Amino acid sequence: MMIGPMMMSLVMKTLVTRTLEMGRRKTKLRTRSKTATLERASSQDVDEVGDQEAHEVSTQDVQAAVHVTRGPSKYLDIWDLPDEEEIELPLNSMHQPVDDGARTFTGFLGTIARKPHMCPIRFLNWKAMPEEFKEECWRLVKRKYSVPADPVAYAALKTFTLQKIGKAWRDHKSRLKKQHYIPDSRNKARVKNKDNTGCIKQDWEILVDHWYTDDAVIESEKNKARRSKQDDLHTASSCAFAVHAAKKAKMDGLPVERAVLYPILHTRKNGSAVNSVVKEKMEKMKLLLDDSSNQLQSSDMSGSIAWSTNDVFAQVMGKERKGRIRGVGFGPSPSGQSSKSARTDIEIQSSQARDNEVAQLKASLATMEDKLASFDEMKERLSQFEDMEQRMEERMARMLQQMQQSSSQCNQDVPSAQQSPALQKSSAASYQPSSL
C-alpha cells in the first residue's frame, strides 16, 4: 500500500505533537518540587516556547548562585614554621601586639581556639577549661613567636594571649550555634547527628545538650536583648585598637588618647558616624579636646592608648566599670601595672626599675626562705642531738654512781675477811705455856 504525501505529513505532525506533549510532561516533573509560582507556570497548557521558558526558569532556580566564601584562615605558614625559627612580635608599653604582625598573631590564636583537641568545646566557659590545655596553648605560641625576657612583659603577654584564645574559643562556639542550632528541643537529636561540625563527637553532644537546657535558652534570650540595645558600635573590624593607635601616632608624631582615637574607630568609610548616638558623643569629645587643659600629657609613642579616670573620654562616656578600660583595646585592666599609659618616659623607666627591683627582692626573699627552712631543719636536728646527749650524760652519771656504790661495798667486805686469822692466832697463843 502506497502512502501519499498527505498521509506522510499527517503522520509527521502526529509524531511532533506527541513529542511536544512528552516534553511538557517531563518539564512538569522537574519543576514539581520548586516554588508555587514555577509549578503554576509549568502546569499551564502553553505552547512549546512557553514550556521552554518555564524550563529555563526552573533550571536557574535549581542552580541558584551561592555566595561562596574562602572560609576561616588557617595560617599554615605559621603552623609549618620550622622549630629553629620564630616570629618577632612588637609590643607597646601596655604589652599589646602592634604593627602588621598583630593581626596575624590574633588570627593564629583563632586557629588554636578552633582545634578540638587543644581547646575542647565540652567545657561551658573558659574558666572551666583545665590549666593543662591553656599551658599547652601557651607553649605552642612560645615555639612560634619570640616572647619578651622581662618577667613583667612576659606575664602580661601570656595573660593577653590566653584571654585572646578564650575569646576566640567563645566566638567559635557562637558560630557553631548560629550554623547548626535549631530551636525547640524536638530537634536536639537532629542537631547532634550532624557530621559537618569539625568537632569531636562526644564534645559536640555535650555542647548541644547544654544549648537545649532551660538555663541556656533563657540566658541566650537575655543576651540577644542586651545586644539589641547596644548603640556604640565600632568600625575597626578585626584590626586591634592598639594597631590603629600606633598608625595614628606614627602619622601625627603625637601620642594618642582615647578621645582622639574614638572618631577613627566609629566612622564609616564614607566619613559618617555609625549612628546619631555616636555622632553626638564625637561632637562632645571634639569640643572638650579644643581646650588644651583637657588633653593628656604623654610622650608614649609605642602605640599605647593614653587614658586616665577623668580624661575627655571618661567625661563623655561616664565612669569606668570595674575590671575593664573602655577604648584602649583588648588586654589592659585598671589593676594592671601596664594600664597607666599617660605616664611620662621617666615614670615608665622608674616603674620598670621598680618592677625589676621587686622581682629581685622576691627572688632574694625566696632564697632566704629556703635558707631559713634549712636552718630550721638544722636547728631541729641540733635540738634532737642535745636531748640525746643529755640523756647519755644522765645515763653515764647513773652508771658511775652505781660503780661507786659497788666499789664502796667491796672495800668494806675485804678488811673483815683479812682480820679473822690474826684473831684466831692471838687467842691460841694465849693458851700455850710460857717457856721456862
pLDDT of residue 391: 84
**More confident: 393 or 84:** 84
Q: Is the pLDDT of residue 25 over 60?
A: no
Angle at 51 between CA 49 and CA 52, to 5 degrees: 65
| Model pLDDT, residue 27 | 36
pLDDT in tens, 249-288: 889 888 899 999 999 999 998 999 999 999 999 999 999 9
How far apart are alpha carbons 29 and 285 in whole angstroms? Answer: 66
Mean pLDDT across 50-67: 43
pLDDT given at position 154 = 94
Rounded Cα distance between 9 and 16, Å, is 11
For the stretch 101-130, pLDDT in tens is 899 999 999 999 999 999 999 999 999 999
Q: Which of 83, 84, 101 is nearest to 92 (CA)?
A: 101
* pLDDT band at 51; cut points 50, 70, 90: very low
The helix or strand, by DSSP H or E, that contains position 257, with its residue range, turns out to be: strand 256-257
Task: Evaluate whether 318 touches 281 at the Cβ level (below 8 Å).
Answer: no
What mean pLDDT, rounded, does the chain reach? 78
Cell numbers of 130, please? Answer: 583545665
- For the record, the C-alpha cell of 180 comes out as 547548626
- pLDDT band for position 7 (50/70/90)? low
pLDDT at 277: 92
Distance in angstroms (rounded) separating the CA atoms of residues 281 and 259:
10
CA distance linking residue 95 with residue 101, whole number of Å: 14
pLDDT for 300-345, tens place per residue?
A: 888 788 888 889 999 999 888 777 788 888 888 776 543 333 334 4
- Average the pLDDT over 387-394 and give the result: 83
Q: State mean pLDDT over 92-96.
A: 89
Distance, CA of 141 to CA of 115 (rounded, Å): 14
The pLDDT value recorded for residue 54 is 39
Residue 351's pLDDT band, with cuts at 50, 70 and 90, is low
Q: pLDDT at position 137, please?
A: 97
pLDDT value for 66: 54
Average pLDDT over residues 160-167: 95
> How many C-beta atoms lie closer than 10 Å to residue 327's C-beta?
20
Burial bucket for residue 155 (CB in 10 Å: 0-12, 13-18, 19+): middle
pLDDT, average across residues 419-423:
47
- The stretch 210-219 carries a mean pLDDT of 95
- Cβ neighbourhood burial of 323 (10 Å; 0-12, 13-18, 19+): exposed
- Asked whether 305 and 241 are in contact (CB, 8 A), the reply is yes
Q: What is the pLDDT of residues 394-418, one digit of tens each?
A: 888 888 888 888 777 776 665 554 4
**What is the average pLDDT across 410-435?**
50
Residue 298: predicted pLDDT: 81
Is the pLDDT assigned to residue 53 strictly greater than 70? no
Phi, psi dihedral angles at 306 (to 5 degrees): -70, 145
Question: Quick one: cell of 83?
Answer: 622549630
C-alpha cell of residue 299: 610622650
Closest C-alpha to 121, from 170, 160, 164 = 170
Percent of the chain at pLDDT exceeding 90: 39
Give the closest residue to 241 by CA, choosing from 332, 317, 322, 162.
332
The pLDDT of residue 403 is: 82
Q: What is the pLDDT of residue 352?
A: 65
| 201 has pLDDT over 70 | yes
Residues 315, 262: Cα–Cα separation, whole Å: 13
The SS3 of residue 155 is: helix
* pLDDT at residue 436, rounded to an integer: 35
Q: Which helix (H) or strand (E) holds 412?
A: helix 345-431
Q: In this prediction, what percent of the chain has a pLDDT beyond 70?
A: 74
What is the arithmetic mean of pLDDT over 355-360?
78
What single letter denotes the amino acid at residue 362?
Answer: K
Angle at CA 198, nearest 5°, toward 192 and 199? 60
